[in-house]
Chain A
Amino acid sequence: MRSTQIKIFSTFTHLIQKIDNTIDHTARHLENREFRIYPTIAGSVFFLALSALILILMPYQIKVRADQTITAQTFPSILAFIMMGGALLNLIKTGLQKYRKEPLEYVEVYILTEIKALILLLFLIIYSLLMPVLGFMLSSVIYGILMLFYFRVKNWKYYLLVTTLAILIGFLFKDILHVRLP
C-alpha cells in the first residue's frame, strides 16, 4: 500500500518535472523572438474599424423615429465620428511622417510575453467557467494553484497560504458581507 503511494507520488513529481522542462525548452526557443508594431497605426486602425462597425450597426441596434432630430442615435453617432476622425487624423499624420522619411515610433512585442499573457487569460477563463460548476471556493483554490504553478513556485507553504486565503476570502464575502457566491 505504502509502495503504491510512493509510486503515485513519484509519477506525479516526474510528470510535473517533465512539464517544467517542456516549458523551459519552449521558453528558450521563443525568448528573443519579437516583432514590431507601430502603436499609432495599430491603435488608429483599431478605432477606425470599431467606429465603422458602430456606424454600420447603429440603425439595427438603435431604433428611432424618422421625424425626430435629436434621438437615441445622436450622441453615439457623434462619438463614433470623433473616434473615426481621430483615427484618420493619426493615420494621415503617420503617412506624412513616412513621406518625409521621418522615423516612426514603434514598440517591440515579444512573442513569449504575449503567449504568457494568453496563458494568464486562459487561466482567468478557466476560473470563470469552473466557478458555477465547482463553486467559488474550490474554483478559487484551483485558480490559485494554477497561478503559483505559472510563477514556477515550488515552496509548498505558498500553496498552503494561497489556498487558505482563497477560502478566507470566500468566508469573508459569504458570511460577513452576506454575498451569495456560487
Chain B
Amino acid sequence: MNLFIEGFQQLFQFSNFIAMNIGLLLGMVFGAIPGLTVILCIVLFLPFTYSMGAIQSFMFLLGMYCAGSYGGSISAILIRTPGTPHATATMLDGYPLSRKGQTHKALKLALQASTFGGIISAVVLLFLAPQVSIFAQKMGTPEYFLVCAFGLTIIAGVSGKTLITGLMAGALGLFIATIGLDPMTSNTRFIFNNINLYSGFDLVICLIGLFALSEVLKKSEKTEVIAKVNLEKEEKKLNSITKADYKKMARPALLSSLIGVIIGIIPGTGASMASFVSYDRAKRMSKTPEEFGNGSIEGIAATETVNNAVTGATLIPLLTLGIPGDGSVAIMLGALMINGLTPGPKLFVDHGVTMYAIMLGLVFVNLFMFLQGKFLTPLFARIIKIPIAILTPVIVIFCFAGAYSVKTSMFDIQIALSFAVLAYLLNKFQIPAIPVLLGLVLGPITEENFRRSLILSDGSWGIFTSSPISIALLAIIALSLFVIIKGKMNENTTGDTNAST
C-alpha cells in the first residue's frame, strides 16, 4: 500500500504528464501513417529519453506504444490501409463501415474500445505484476534460461512462415549479441581487432538499422497512391453510438480484453496475433456473424480492445522477468537499463516505488489517449496525407542523428547501415526480423543463465530438469512447439486444398 501511494506521488509531476502527452501524440501520428510503425517511432525517439528520468522516459515511451496501437486504426478505417500490422483486423470492418457514411462512428468505436482494453490491461498489470515478481524470485538460473528459450520459441513460431526460419532468425540475433567482450571470461569474440566492437553492438543502433533504415531501402518498391479522405460531409445521426450498440459491443470487448491480457503475458507474441484470434472469437460468438467483414461494430470493438489490452500485459514479463512481451516492448528494455533499472525479479524489490509509478502511469496514458483521440482525430486524418518524399529523408536524418548520439561515433552509423542491408536481405529471403530483435535483446541474459547453469552442474544438462518449475517450463515449450507445428501443418493443408480446388 505504501508503495502504491508513494508511486502515485512520484507519478504526479508535471514533466511526466508532458512527456506522456508528447509520446501519445507522436505514437498516434506514427501509428496513423502507413509505412511508419510503432517500433520505428520508439526507435527514433529512444535517444530523447537518455536525458529523462525513469518515470518520465517510460511515460513518453508508453504513450507512443499505446497511442500507436490505436493510431493504426485511423488509416485502416479511413483509407483501407492499416497504419500498423495489428490494425489489419480493424480494417476488415472499419473500412466497410466508413464506406456506409459512418466514418466518425467507426473512429469513435475504435477509440473507445482501445481505451477500454488499455485500462483493463493497466489494471491487470498493477495487480498481477507484483505477484509474478514474487513467483519469479523463486526461479534460479536454469529456470530463467528456459523462460528465455520459451519466449524465443514462441516468437520464432509465430513470426516466420515456418518454425525453422523463425528459429534460425532467433539464433542469428542471439549470435550477434555475443559479439564483443564475453562478460564471464573477458575473451573477445568476433571483434576482428576492431576496438569499436569491444562492447558489442548497441541495441539502439541495431534497431535503427533493422527497423528504420531498412524501411527506407524498401521505398524502392512501388507504393500505392493514398486516397483522399473527407470527414466533414457525414450525417450526425448515423454516426452516433446508441445504447443498443454499446450492448452489442460489451461481450466482444470483455472477451477481447481477456484474450489480449493472456496473449500479451506470453513472451514473444503481440497484438498482431491477438487481434486475429480475438476477431475470430468474436465472429464465432456473434448472433450476426454475417455482418463481419461488412462493417460489424462487434468486429471493430473486438480488434481494437485486444490491441490495447495487450499493451499492459506485455509489460508483465518485461518488468518481472526481463523478457519482452513483444518487439516494441523489447526496445523499452533499453530505456529501463539506461536508467539503471535491471528488469527481473529484483526490480520490484529494489525499485518498487518507480514500478508502481510506471504501472499507475499506464492508466493515465490510456485516459489521455482517449482525450487526444477525441479531439485530434480530424488532425490525424490530414496527417496521413503527408507525402512519403518528405517523410523518408526526415526519418533518415533523425536516424543518423540518433545513431550518432549514442556514442558520438560514425562507426555506429556504419553499423546501422549494415543492419539495414541485413534486414533488407532477410526480407527478400522471407525471414522475419522480430526473432532477430528478440535474440539481440535476450541474448546476454539467455547466455549468462545457460552458462551459469552448466557451470553449476559441472557441464551436466540434467540441471534443466532438476526442479518442478524447470520441468513445467520444458513441458510448456514442448506443448507450444507441438501447437505451432500442428498449426503450420494445418495452414499448409488448407493451402493445398485451396490450390487444388
Contacts and interface: CB of A to CB of B under 8 A. Distances in A.
Given A72-B187, A158-B390, A86 B450 contact: no
Contacts of B50: 177
Interface in B404-432: 404-405, 408, 410, 413-414, 417, 420-421, 424-426, 428-431
Contacts of A1: none
A121 interface: yes
Determine which residue in B174, B421, B426 has the highest number of CB atoms from chain A within 10 A of its CB, and name it: B174
Contacts of B394: 144, 162, 165-166, 169
Given A70-B454, A132-B410, A83 B220 contact: no
B429 A46 contact: yes
A102 to B, nearest CB: 9
Determine which residue in B51, B213, B216, B401 has the highest number of CB atoms from chain A within 10 A of its CB, and name it: B401
A43 B413 CA distance: 26
Interface string B221-242: 1100000000000000000000
B255 interface: no
A76 B189 contact: yes
Nearest to A172: B401
A143 B396 CA distance: 9
Given A70-B459, A147-B396, A79 B178 contact: yes
B379 interface: no
Interface stretch (B29-37, B121-129, B160-168, B320-328): B160-168
A128 B410 contact: yes
A46 B231 CA distance: 49
Contacts of B410: 128, 131-132, 182
A148 B459 CA distance: 59
Contacts of A43: 165, 168, 426, 429-431
Interface string A137-167: 0001001100110010100001001100110
B14 interface: no
Contacts of B220: 113-117, 119-120
Contact of B459 (A62, A69, A79, A90): A69
Interface of A is mostly: helix
Interface in A91-115: 107, 109, 113-115
A61 interface: yes
Interface residues of A, number: 67
Those 6 A-B pairs whose CB atoms lie nearest each other, nearest first = A43-B429, A116-B220, A151-B389, A117-B220, A72-B182, A147-B393
28 contacts: A39-B428, A43-B165, A43-B430, A54-B190, A61-B188, A61-B189, A61-B191, A61-B192, A62-B188, A63-B188, A72-B184, A72-B189, A76-B175, A83-B171, A86-B165, A116-B220, A121-B417, A124-B213, A128-B413, A132-B410, A136-B400, A140-B397, A144-B394, A153-B387, A169-B394, A177-B51, A181-B405, A182-B404
Given A113-B220, A181-B405, 16 more contacts: A42-B429, A50-B172, A61-B189, A61-B192, A63-B187, A64-B185, A86-B167, A107-B428, A117-B217, A120-B219, A121-B217, A148-B389, A151-B392, A162-B393, A173-B401, A179-B401
Interface of B: 47-48, 50-51, 162, 164-165, 167-168, 171-172, 174-175, 178, 182, 184-185, 187-192, 213, 216-222, 387-390, 392-394, 396-398, 400-401, 404-405, 408, 410, 413-414, 417, 420-421, 424-426, 428-431, 447, 450-451, 454-455, 459
Interface of A: 37, 39-40, 42-43, 46-47, 50, 54, 57, 61-64, 69-72, 74-76, 79-80, 82-83, 86-87, 89-90, 107, 109, 113-117, 119-121, 124-125, 127-128, 131-132, 136, 140, 143-144, 147-148, 151, 153, 158, 161-162, 165-166, 169-170, 173, 177-182
